[in-house]
Copies of this chain bind each other. A is one copy, B any other.
């Protein structure tokens, strides 16, 4: 046997072994994720970062995911198409942004007067929510997963106090989507304005009020300096962001990397809710300490009742148009009733005991 033959034999052995290594799943997988957010956007942007870090660590470096922020891919609201077309294997965004693509995607983020965060996670994982979301997204070749919860979002910042339904008449408010339609029914003038222009719009009276997120992200925007009435929330009681995965790319992953990806997304989503809770408490304390001019308010009962009626009418209109919408809204309604009875008997009764009369 010649030297060259020996080398050949060793090469064959080497390829055989690297084949074995491959069979054990040791090939490197490199994916890209497009997010709606700009680079270093706090909390929202931390969820995909934490997910990608977990995927890399749990796979011992075999699976890495590069994150492209909106400044890179130039299309904050193009994430759905990126993932559908496979330009990106993954996305991080929010399901209600795809209302224009498919109306039924709207209900997997949050619903006005809907579930709280813990109720909604129970619905997703034990109440049929994940299955309904799959039934909406399957036809696009997209897998959709919870992507992190903000907790209850605030009703917004107002220059003037809202004392009656009449005060909503003609009110120019930045409040996009579903909630905007509800307020429009009561005479308000809802608009949508990009986040970078919000402060100026408020300062120059282009708008009278706006909603953003909550203390966790509002403080850095400076709204408290010019619109001192800060109202409690009704329209986004448990905003859940979204991970999207291209189904074909997922199907090609070895089974253990599939499991790692799904676990990392689920854990990063739960962790974002914990982070939101922390940041909200911390920033609310800062607002109270450093900006005593801020007046925290809840809408008076007649205002809240009018908003609730308008919301119910709108939901009924939606449901009447499409059996799938009806199915989703029925599921949310009946699950919320069951879960809310428990929330009221447990956490709410407990919280009320600290200020019972």
Interface contact B119-A232, CB-CB below 8 Å = no
Query: Which B residues touch A275, using CB under 8 A?
Result: 122, 125-126
| Closest-CB distance, A72 to chain B (whole angstroms) | 28
Chain A's interface size range is 35 or more
Binds B, one of A82-90, A166-174, A192-200, A265-273: A265-273
Which of A54-62, A131-139, A157-165, A204-212 faces chain B? A54-62
B14 and A342: CB pair below 8 A?
Answer: no
Q: Is the pair B339, A344 in contact by a Cβ cutoff of 8 Å?
A: no
Stretch at the interface among A29-37, A95-103, A179-187, A280-288: A280-288
Query: Contacts of A274 on B, CB cut-off 8 Å?
Result: 118, 121-122, 125-126
Cβ of A91 under 8 Å from chain B: no
Chain B residues within an 8 Å CB radius of A260: 58
A151 touches B285 (CB 8 A): no
Query: How long is the Cα–Cα vector from A275 to B267 in the complex, in angstroms?
Result: 15
Beyond A20-B21, A233-B346, 14 extra complex contacts between A and B, CB < 8 Å: A10-B10, A17-B17, A17-B20, A59-B256, A122-B277, A125-B274, A125-B275, A126-B278, A127-B278, A152-B346, A232-B353, A298-B349, A298-B356, A344-B351
Partner of A347, one of B3, B151, B278: B151
Given the interface pairs A122-B277, A256-B60, A270-B270, the reply to whether A237 lies near B350 with Cβ below 8 Å is: yes
B-side contacts of A273, CB under 8 Å: 118
A350-B233 contact, Cβ under 8 Å, with A215-B342, A281-B339: yes
CA–CA, A234 and B347, complex, Å:
10
Chain B CB within 8 A of A70 CB? no
Q: Is the CB of A214 within 8 A of B346?
A: yes
Q: How far is the CB of A355 from chain B (nearest CB, A)?
A: 8
10 tightest A-B CB contacts, nearest first: A17-B17, A152-B346, A60-B256, A126-B278, A232-B349, A281-B342, A122-B278, A122-B277, A270-B270, A57-B259
**Known contacts A342-B215, A344-B351; is-contact A277 B6 (Cβ 8 Å):** no
